Structures are given as structure tokens and as C-alpha cells.
Amino acid sequence: MNHTVRSSIARRRAVLGAHVLTHVVFACALCSLAYGQDASTRTRNVVLIVPDGVRWQEVFTGAERALIGPAGNVNDTTTLLREFWRESPAERRLALMPFLWGTIAREGLIVGDPATGARAEVTNGLKFSYPGYNEMLAGAPDPRIRSNSYGPNPNRTVFAWLASREGYQDRVAAFATWGVFTDIFDARRSGVTVRAGWRAPFPEPRGDRQALINELHRTTTRLWPDNTFDVLTHQAVLEYVRTAKPRVLFIGYGETDEWAHAGRYDLTLRATRQVDAFVAELWGTMQAMPEYRDATTFLITTDHGRGDGADGWKRHGENVAGAEAIWLAMLGPDTPAIQGGLGVGRVTQSQVAATLAALLGENWPGANPGAASAIRGAIRE
């Protein structure tokens, strides 16, 4: 073969290689677009977890000594002190929420501690659940929503928006102990799979485990008519994750708020610790699955804060000072490890929706101009 022929063949191979590479890159770009994924983020799945009404005071300083007694309706103070009391705030918060402080705060971030200047607050002014969840999920407060019994949410949530997009259809779900989430997510129209309250979580159970979870929902004695127990919802979540493999998931735990309203500080602390254990179990479960391993971000926050003092800790609402203060934590492949919060000033509840979308490479404020922007610094660049 002469030099001219060899050169011609080499040129053709180079051109062919370039065309192949171009098509591969283009195909990868199409895959990325099809799944709504910006190549700059590694997150492919997001789980938003909300334990209702958990105060920043317990999250950052642990059990409050003044409430371990008559002010908290605690009779067995010896046992509760042994479980939760430690000399320093850092030790107390670790005893209360070991996964949050032993893993998330070390490998991810947490904000909302006024002592660091990284405050987190609701902006709806009402400081109770439905307005808070709407602000969180839609990205802006709505002055029309002034009651927990408002009815179907008139605002499109970031979950509903994602559920309509290529790559997310039938992969967006919400599981919650509180029945009102059926309205908050507008389950009839949103395209989001919603399982809330005492409703059986598996309409057509497949296998013994799903049938058992449904039976437990049906037969468990109801302490609260519109709120089931956290463990029932949690078991349904684990089963749904294993079988349906959602990409975007909301989990709402409600016992923390119910026990606080009942004035039971002992059960409030224990419910908080149990939620932390649930989060740890779910994280371990998902990291053991190839669909989720090193591609999933947990975003954990609360819908409102509570007041202070012997009576204020039980309450929240428009006239309760301090109930606007919340907290937020994140853990995932795109979350920077920042000790002591972001150091960027005030974070608002309305930024949760855009932050969740941005983790997936999506622009929620672009689709919903009234929504707040994502939290600055919360996603690694």
C-alpha cells in the first residue's frame, strides 16, 4: 500500500471517528435532556423529608432541661434524662439525632442555627402546616391559604411540575401520615402518586408485605383521626422505594407535631429520635440499591417552628413568636460539606422547591416566575 493510499484511509478513519464521537456526545446529551438532568449535577433522585413541627432548639441544642419535668408532662424524668440529657449542646443533639449530627452535618450541611447567623425562616406569616407546605412545595406563600382545611391546593407544586416532565412521569410520589396531603399535592390532578393518612398505601397490593402494610393501616387503633403513626408510613415508604423506585419522593412524618400539641415532651423527643432513625434506615436502603447509590440527595426540613417556654413549645401559629424559625439539612453527591451552616445569611422555606429542582438540573423559577430562587451555596459547583 503506498503512502498516498494510507494517508487517504487514515483521513477517512479520522473523519469517521469524529462523526461517531459527535453522535455519542449528542446521544448522551439527549439522554440527559430526556431525564431533565443537567450534566453539572450528579443527583438523579431527590427525597424531601419533613418531620412536622420539629423545633430548631432541639435540633441544634438537644433536649431542653426545663421541659423534662412538669412543664413537659414528664413523670419518669430519670429515664428521659438518661436517654437525652448530656452536659453540652453538641452531645445532647447527637443523643437526640445521631444520624443528622453523626453523618449529615459532617458530610453535608445544616442551616437554621441562629448562633451561626445562618437562619432559616418561613415567610407566609401564618406559621402552621398547610401554608408552610404550600410555600415549601410551590416556592412562594399564598395569602389565600389560611386554613389546614383549605381544600385542593390552587398552586402547582414543584412535584407536579416534575411529574409532567419526560423522565419523571410515574416516578414522583408523596407518602405522609397526615391525610391533608391529598389536598396539598392536589392528588386528583397533579400526576403525583399520593398516599396520605389512614388510606391503604397499596391500592392493588402485590405480595404479602404490601398486603400486611395495608392491613396494619386498616386495623391499627386510631389515636388521631386524620394522622396515622410514623412507623406505618415509613414501612410503606421502604416498600414503595424497593418496588416502584421513584425519582422524586416526599415523606411527611407527623408524630413530632402531634405529641408536642399534646404537651408530651417525652414522646416528642422519642418521636424525633425515631424519625432520625427512619432517615438513617432509608438512606442505607437507597445507597444499597444501584438506582440510588451515590446519585440521591436527601433534603430534610420542617414546615414551621414553635414557641418557647413552658407553654410556647407546644404551640405555633400567627401569634406565636419564634414559630417562623425552621431548619434545613442536605446530604448527597452535590452537597458541599459546610460546618456551621452556609454562612450566607437568611434562608427561606420558599427556596426549598427551587433547590430541589436545581439538584436535578431543573429550573423551577424559570417555569414558575413567582417562585424563590435556589439556596445559594447549597449545591456544589
Same domain, 181 and 285: yes
Same domain, 148 and 6: no
Kindly tell me if the per-residue pLDDT of 10 is higher than 50.
no
Is residue 379, in this structure, part of any structural domain at all? Answer: no
The three-state secondary structure class of 347 is: strand
Same domain, 26 and 64: no
Q: Which residues lie below 8 Å from residue 45, measured CB to CB, with a gap of 6+? A: 246, 247, 248, 249, 286, 291, 292, 295, 296, 297
Kindly tell me if the per-residue pLDDT of 39 is higher than 90.
no
The closest of 248, 237, 193 to 364, measured between CA atoms, is 248
Same domain, 23 and 91: no
Is residue 120, in this structure, part of any structural domain at all? Answer: yes
Kindly tell me if the per-residue pLDDT of 4 is higher than 50.
no
Is residue 372, in this structure, part of any structural domain at all? Answer: no
Instruction: Give 199-231 pLDDT, tens digit per residue.
Output: 999 999 999 999 999 999 999 999 999 999 999
Same domain, 250 and 310: yes
**Distance between CA atoms of 32 and 22, rounded to whole angstroms?**
15
Q: Which residues lie below 8 Å from residue 200, measured CB to CB, with a gap of 6+? A: 214, 217, 218
Confidence at residue 26, expressed as pLDDT on a 0 to 100 scale: 32
Instruction: Give 158-179 pLDDT, tens digit per residue.
Output: 999 999 999 999 999 999 999 9
Is residue 378, in this structure, part of any structural domain at all? Answer: no
Give, in degrees to the nearest 5, the angle at Cα 303 between 168 and 364: 35
**Of residues 340 and 205, more confidently modeled:** 205
Same domain, 14 and 149: no
Same domain, 169 and 240: yes
Is the distance from CB of 236 to CB of 212 less than 8 angstroms?
no
Same domain, 97 and 23: no
Same domain, 168 and 88: yes
Is residue 110, in this structure, part of any structural domain at all? Answer: yes
Q: Would you give the DSSP letter of residue 102?
A: I
Q: Which range is least confidently modeled, 113-117, 324-328, 331-335?
A: 113-117
Q: Based on the structure, what is the number of domains in the chain?
A: 2
Domain of residue 139, residue span: 42-367
Kindly tell me if the per-residue pLDDT of 15 is higher than 60.
no
Is the distance from CB of 315 to CB of 87 less than 8 angstroms?
no
Distance of CA 281 to the CA centre of its chain: 15
CATH code (residue 254)? 3.40.720.10
Instruction: Give 244-299 pLDDT, tens digit per residue.
Output: 999 999 999 999 999 999 999 999 999 999 999 999 999 999 999 999 999 999 99
Same domain, 25 and 46: no
Is residue 116, in this structure, part of any structural domain at all? Answer: yes
Q: Which range is least confidently modeled, 111-115, 129-133, 359-363?
A: 111-115
Instruction: Count Cβ neighbours within 10 Å for each residue of 88-101 and write b for 16 or more, e otherwise.
Output: eeeebbbbbbebbb
Same domain, 25 and 156: no
* Residue 262, Cβ density class (10 Å: 0-12 exposed, 13-18 middle, ≥19 buried): middle
Same domain, 46 and 23: no
Is residue 381, in this structure, part of any structural domain at all? Answer: no
φ and ψ of 120, to 5 deg: -130, 130
Instruction: Give 43-92 pLDDT, tens digit per residue.
Output: 999 999 999 999 999 999 999 999 999 999 999 999 999 999 999 999 99
Is residue 55, in this structure, part of any structural domain at all? Answer: yes
Kindly tell me if the per-residue pLDDT of 30 is higher than 90.
no
**Distance between CA atoms of 90 and 44, rounded to whole angstroms?**
33
